[in-house]
């Protein structure tokens, strides 16, 4: 391999191209980002097709999931929800964990070791799909994008609504229309 060969990367989400200068020595460090929406990952689709029926068969709602691949510290985190009056308790999480673990052991969709975590979405609940965003219109949300939009990656403001596949957020007195496919992470900001 030519030690002076340059590097070329195309971002599949936005189509942007990045080129790095040639260098005789190049060290790259990166972290693997979690996948959160089925449109962005075939693995997410496979996992959701296995997990959602198990979760819903136990009488709780599948809120979403994220998988962080970091070697031996990889984590599959599943969020479950139920009626507002009841809430999620430890037994719900344990029951879902046992059932999902059994299915994943048989189907084996994840290579290598990982930890399975099951929890409620909590007060600062993550938002995974347009239905969830729509349910929290009027709430304050925190968004982190995969790539900069209008010169920034982080937005914190009032969720104003959904237009087509875009999330409308008001930060200070300015509104932004952010494509949902660019959103890496979204959470409701609890108001006390």
Query: Which pLDDT value is given to residue 84?
Result: 67
Which CATH number is 109's domain given?
3.30.300.70
What CA–CA distance (Å, rounded) separates 80 from 78? 7
Q: Of 61, 93, 119, which marks where a domain is finished? A: 119
- For residue range 129-175, list pLDDT tens digits in order: 999 999 999 999 999 999 999 899 999 999 999 999 899 999 999 99
Q: Is 24 inside a domain boundary?
A: no
Cα–Cα nearest to 116, from 126, 127, 105, 129: 105
Q: Is 4 inside a domain boundary?
A: no
Domain count of the fold of the chain:
2
Asked whether residue 104 falls in the same domain as residue 138, the answer is: no
Asked whether residue 111 falls in the same domain as residue 177, the answer is: no
- For residue range 39-80, list pLDDT tens digits in order: 447 888 899 999 999 999 999 999 999 988 887 788 999 999
What CA–CA distance (Å, rounded) separates 168 from 186? 13
Domain residues for the domain of 103 are 38-119
Q: Is 158 inside a domain boundary?
A: yes
Q: Is 19 inside a domain boundary?
A: no
Q: Of 67, 94, 119, which marks where a domain is finished? A: 119
Query: Which pLDDT value is given to residue 57?
Result: 94
Length of the chain: 192
What CA–CA distance (Å, rounded) separates 137 from 161? 5
Query: Which pLDDT value is given to residue 139?
Result: 97
Rounded to two decimals, the pTM is: 0.74
What's the number of CA atoms in the CB half-sphere (13 Å) around residue 53? 7
């Amino acid at each position: 391999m030519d030690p002076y060969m340059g590097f070329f990367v195309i971002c599949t989400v936005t189509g942007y191209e990045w080129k790095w200068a040639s260098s005789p020595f190049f060290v790259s460090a990166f972290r693997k980002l979690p996948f959160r929406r089925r449109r962005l990952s075939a693995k997410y689709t496979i996992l959701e097709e296995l997990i959602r029926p198990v979760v819903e068969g136990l009488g709780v709602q599948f809120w979403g999931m994220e998988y962080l691949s970091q070697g031996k510290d990889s984590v599959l985190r599943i969020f479950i929800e139920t009626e507002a009056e009841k809430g999620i308790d430890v037994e719900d999480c344990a029951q879902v964990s046992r059932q999902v673990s059994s299915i994943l052991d048989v189907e084996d969709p994840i290579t290598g070791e990982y930890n399975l975590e099951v929890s409620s979405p909590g007060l600062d609940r993550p938002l995974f799909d347009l239905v969830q965003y729509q349910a929290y219109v009027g709430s304050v949300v925190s968004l982190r994008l995969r790539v900069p939009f209008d010169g920034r990656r982080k937005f914190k403001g009032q969720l104003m609504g959904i237009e087509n596949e875009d999330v409308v957020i008001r930060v200070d007195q300015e509104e932004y229309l952010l494509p949902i496919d660019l959103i890496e992470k979204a959470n409701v900001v609890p108001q006390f």
